[in-house]
């Protein structure tokens, strides 16, 4: 919609450099968590790792204390940890992860005034081939989107390719939750759907140099429908109980392509 497109805040090279620092911190946190994901570990332990690294860097955790009107309480942790049929916004707790689980970890920070927000799904020990295929497809959908981003083209061109790829592999694209602009705030305009919205309710936009986006495909092993778990009304689960995976990167659109902000130190620009 034109109204929301006009609220998109384009970032200067200096702001993009600050966002890259925030993105690198999130990447470091996810790397460290990945080293600890194994059967027997609890998501609360993973959250403690994130909390320490974020504090050590002089940053703040974006998710902690977030109030959402539908939820039963403010979000209590530094990461979201979503296990198996949980899609996003799962709450770290004391249940040990079990061999064969998959766990999606989403981490958001604010560092020097700018936000980073990224997610990956991890395998716990040895997982079933179908779970591996779901994880791979979701990660590949994100990689495909990053490859397809070019300035002065429409986002829906990228979203259509992601959706086609995911659905061609027999999986579902979550509709209720989407990517977003980010910068000084975790959620800025525009909304960045991972599918092509029906004509008439389309919030499509042009990819413009200086635009900074969190792109985050959420993919289900079965039907795409999701619901809130009633006990907290934070945790989003698949309606059909199928597994879900989630990968997220922050990117900046540049004059000639794209820069991944939430990649590690060794990633080339
Ligand atoms: Mg996130
Ligand atoms: Mg996000």
Helix (H, G, I), strand (E, B) or coil at 20: helix
Helices 129-148 + 155-168 axis angle, to 10 = 160
pLDDT for residue 269: 44
User: Region 76-89: what's the mean pLDDT?
Assistant: 98
User: Region 206-216: what's the mean pLDDT?
Assistant: 98
Q: How far is the CA of 94 from the centre of ligand 1 (A)?
A: 22
Residues 26, 198 contacting (CB under 8 angstroms): no
Q: At a CB cut-off of 8 Å and minimum separation 6, what does 242 contact?
A: 85, 172, 220, 221, 222, 223
Is the pLDDT score of 268 beyond 90?
Answer: no
CA distance 115 to 68: 19
For 144-201, what is each residue's pLDDT tens digit?
999 999 999 999 999 999 999 999 999 999 999 999 999 999 999 999 999 998 876 6
Higher pLDDT, residue 110 or 202: 110
Q: How far is the CA of 248 from the centre of ligand 1 (A)?
A: 6
For 228-239, what is each residue's pLDDT tens digit?
999 999 999 999
pLDDT for residue 231: 96
User: How are beta strands 218-220 and 244-246 bridged, if at all?
Assistant: antiparallel
Is the pLDDT score of 20 beyond 80?
Answer: yes
For 22-45, what is each residue's pLDDT tens digit?
999 999 999 999 999 999 999 999
Task: Report which bound ligand comes closest to the CA of 79.
Answer: 1
User: Region 51-65: what's the mean pLDDT?
Assistant: 98
Q: How far is the CA of 169 from the centre of ligand 1 (A)?
A: 24
Q: Which pLDDT band, with edges at 50, 70 and 90, does 7 fall under?
A: confident
User: Region 61-89: what's the mean pLDDT?
Assistant: 98
Task: Report which bound ligand comes closest to the CA of 118.
Answer: 1
Task: Report which bound ligand comes closest to the CA of 88.
Answer: 1
Q: How far is the CA of 103 from the centre of ligand 1 (A)?
A: 14
Is the pLDDT score of 53 beyond 50?
Answer: yes
User: How are beta strands 188-192 and 179-181 bridged, if at all?
Assistant: antiparallel
Q: How far is the CA of 117 from the centre of ligand 2 (A)?
A: 5
Q: By C-alpha distance, which of 174, 172, 166 is closest to 226?
A: 174
User: How are beta strands 249-253 and 114-123 bridged, if at all?
Assistant: unpaired
pLDDT for residue 203: 76
Please state whether the peptide bond connecting residue 207 to the residue before it is cis, i.e. omega within 30 degrees of 0.
no
pLDDT for residue 199: 76
Above pLDDT 70, what percent of the chain?
Answer: 95
Task: Report which bound ligand comes closest to the CA of 108.
Answer: 1
**Topology classification of domain 13-260:** Creatine Amidinohydrolase (3.90.230)
pLDDT for residue 197: 83
Q: How far is the CA of 181 from the centre of ligand 2 (A)?
A: 8
Residue 42 DSSP one-character state: B
């Amino acid at each position: 919609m034109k109204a929301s497109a006009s609220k998109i805040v384009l970032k200067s090279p200096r702001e993009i450099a600050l966002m890259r620092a925030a993105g690198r911190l999130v990447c470091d946190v996810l790397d460290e968590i990945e080293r600890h994901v194994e059967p027997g570990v609890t998501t609360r332990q993973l959250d403690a790792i994130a909390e320490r690294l974020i504090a050590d860097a002089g940053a703040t955790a974006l998710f902690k204390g977030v109030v959402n009107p539908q939820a039963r309480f403010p979000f209590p942790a530094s990461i979201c940890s979503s296990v198996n049929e949980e899609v996003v916004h799962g709450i770290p707790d004391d249940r040990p992860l079990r061999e064969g689980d998959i766990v999606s970890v989403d981490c958001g920070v604010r560092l020097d005034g700018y936000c980073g927000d990224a997610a990956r799904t991890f395998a716990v020990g040895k997982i079933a081939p179908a779970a591996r295929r779901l994880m791979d497809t979701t990660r590949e959908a994100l990689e495909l989107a990053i490859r397809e981003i070019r300035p002065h083209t429409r986002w829906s061109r990228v979203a259509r390719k992601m959706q086609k790829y995911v659905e061609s592999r027999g999986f579902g694209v979550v509709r209720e939750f989407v990517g977003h602009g980010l910068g000084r705030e975790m959620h800025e305009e525009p909304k960045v759907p991972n599918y092509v919205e029906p004509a008439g309710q389309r919030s499509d936009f042009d990819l413009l140099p200086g635009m900074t986006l969190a792109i985050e495909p959420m993919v289900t092993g079965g039907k795409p429908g999701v619901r809130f778990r009633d006990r907290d009304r934070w945790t989003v689960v698949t309606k059909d109980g199928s597994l879900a995976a989630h990968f997220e990167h922050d990117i900046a659109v540049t004059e000639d392509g794209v820069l991944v902000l939430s990649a590690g130190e060794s990633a080339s620009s």
